[in-house]
Structure 1
Amino acid sequence: MIWPAAFTACMAWLVWYFPRFIILAGLANDNLQSGYLTAGALDIVVALGAVAALVMGLRTTRTTAGEGVIETPVDRLSLFLGRVTMLLVVVLVAVMAYEVMLRYVFERPTLWANEMSLWMAGFIFLLSGLYAMQQRSHIRIYLLYDVLPRGVQRLCDVISTGLICLFAAAMIWGSWNEARDKFLRWETFGTAFDPPIPATLKPLILLVMVLVALQAVANLVADWRKGPESHGVIDGNEVEEMIQTARAQHEQGRHD
């Protein structure tokens, strides 16, 4: 998790100070130019660090027990971003625990924890959807799918993938201008902490939609030559875990 952690740290810096890069690119309005400096050497180094962490993370990402195999470069990217999402969950829990302690133990609540939690939860929600798509763990209804011959299953996969791509294209077409405007003017939340939630989450929605569509296409290509799919009521891994747990409890009972 070293490279996902390094990538997360670099991106945290870049997201918070990204108006400096907007100014550097000559796209900033007067409000941004009056409130921020242009990107300096440190900002450039952090940006290069984020790229390096991403490249190294993609090269070293491995699956763990229970995860699907890596079959395409898109799988590798989704899996790496899944690791980043897992780290964000840990940070989110830490922020919430810190706020609870200050609020109810020391009676000194913060001004930033609530908005920070909301902000990170948005990132987690979006990126976890991409990870779920890569793992094929999103909600699917198999009642009719399992009884169909493999050729018809492939047709259903093509239709569902096409609908995902169509939805992604519609989202981009309908929301591009709004997302671009919020991003370039670096629209903030309007609170005391004032994080740039609209400026970051709105473009991220479109970016994740593109990645989800690419992942859906990658899944379609990877699954095309596989045999007929059949899904039981209980997953095979769950059955194996239940058996191992029962055996462990039985052995413990014998020793007791």
Structure 2
Amino acid sequence: MSDFHDQTVSGPQSGPLPELPVSDEDIGSSPLDRGVVWLGKKLSLIFALIVVVSAYEIARRYLFDSPTLWVHETVTFLGASLFVFGGLYAFATDRHVRVVLVYDAVSARIQCMLRVLHHLLGLAFCLMMIYASWFMAKNAVFAPWGDIRLETSGSAWNPPFPAYLKALILVAIITLTLQFTLHLIRDLRQLGRL
């Protein structure tokens, strides 16, 4: 168990903090969540690459007066891709935004019910986003006549990064939908045990 639960609470009822009703095996333990966390740790190294490539561009531009065509768009694409994946990572590790003022003030059963409501609303959001991102990705990858034609940036270098990013957003939303479904199943089981 984490050190958090071994700490004591000051006040009239000193002693160990009560255990959360959801066990460590239940939180973020689906194979999908574990895969997202594993991949997220590997992908986080790309932020270091972004810094190195940006420093390279700064040196080329300001020290040698020889800017590159590819650095700005590449760094923007990599950063945007990592931020898209960051939402999956935050949800897999249960570090997404939550109004703890309300959440921490209610019983374990109400907390579980709030998580179920959160997952249901999240699923509704994801289904709408899948619908929208499907058309966005389809239009970015296919020409109106059906041939594969990747949308490009329109710059002098003109990479197909917009098409890649829109396809990645679709994959991320599908993955998030699966995460919400697995978390909903977990919390419905937990609710039945409370």
* TM-score class normalised by the smaller sequence: 0.7 to 0.9
Residue equivalent to 1:45: none
In the superposition, relative to structure 1, how do residues 137 and 119 fare at CA in structure 2: closer, same or farther (>3 Å)?
A: same
TM normalised by structure 2 equals 0.74
1:34-53 to 2 correspondences below 5 Å: none
Residue number among 121, 124, 130 corresponding to 1:172 in the alignment: 130
Residue number among 113, 128, 143 corresponding to 2:86 in the alignment: 128
Residue number among 108, 117, 129 corresponding to 2:75 in the alignment: 117
Residue number among 142, 150, 153 corresponding to 1:189 in the alignment: 153
Residue equivalent to 1:147: 105
Greater helix content: 1
Deviation at 1:225, TM superposition (A): 6.6
In the superposition, relative to structure 1, how do residues 70 and 118 fare at CA in structure 2: closer, same or farther (>3 Å)?
A: same
1:87 aligns with 2:51: no
1:217 aligns with 2:181: yes
One-letter code aligned to 1:139: V
Distance 1:181 1:80 in 2: 31
Deviation at 1:217, TM superposition (A): 3.3
Distance 2:133 2:113 in 1: 30
Residue number among 180, 183, 206 corresponding to 2:170 in the alignment: 206
1:77 aligns with 2:35: yes
Distance 1:224 1:178 in 2: 33
Q: Is there any run of 5+ residues in structure 2 with no aligned partner, and where?
A: 1-25, 143-148
**Deviation per residue, 1:91-149 (Å, 9 max, x gap):** 21111111011111112111111111111111111011111111111221111111212
Q: Is there any run of 5+ residues in structure 1 with no aligned partner, and where?
A: 1-67, 228-256
